[in-house]
Amino acid sequence: MAAAHAGKPKLVRKLLAAGARIDPVDRVRNGHADTARWLIGHGADRSLRDDPGKTAADIAREQNYLELAQLLQP
């Protein structure tokens, strides 16, 4: 979803309200920690994995977002 990739939280909220699904793994990988936090706070699935099998928490740890990694832990 382009709005999430661009880090546009207001648009992301509108899209989610309309039923869109956004993967928190992509948000963390693209450096949008605030959007990832918001998604987690609104029920995003923390257990989702990317193609290599990494969770958002794994990626956050790799990028040294330690506080976010703890929040994202499934």
pLDDT digits (tens, 9 = 90+) for 46-66: 888 888 899 888 988 998 888
| Angstrom distance (rounded) from CA 70 to CA 5 | 22
Q: Supply 45's token pair.
A: 């699935």
Q: Are 32 and 12 in contact (CB under 8 A)?
A: no
Q: Supply 21's token pair.
A: 């699904």
Domain boundaries, the chain: 2-72
pTM of this prediction exceeds 0.95: no
Give the pLDDT score at 8.
67
Give the pLDDT score at 1.
47
| Angstrom distance (rounded) from CA 55 to CA 58 | 5
Say which residue, 72 or 1, is predicted with more confidence.
72
**What architecture (CATH level 2) is domain 2-72?**
Alpha Horseshoe (1.25)
The amino acid at residue 13 is: R
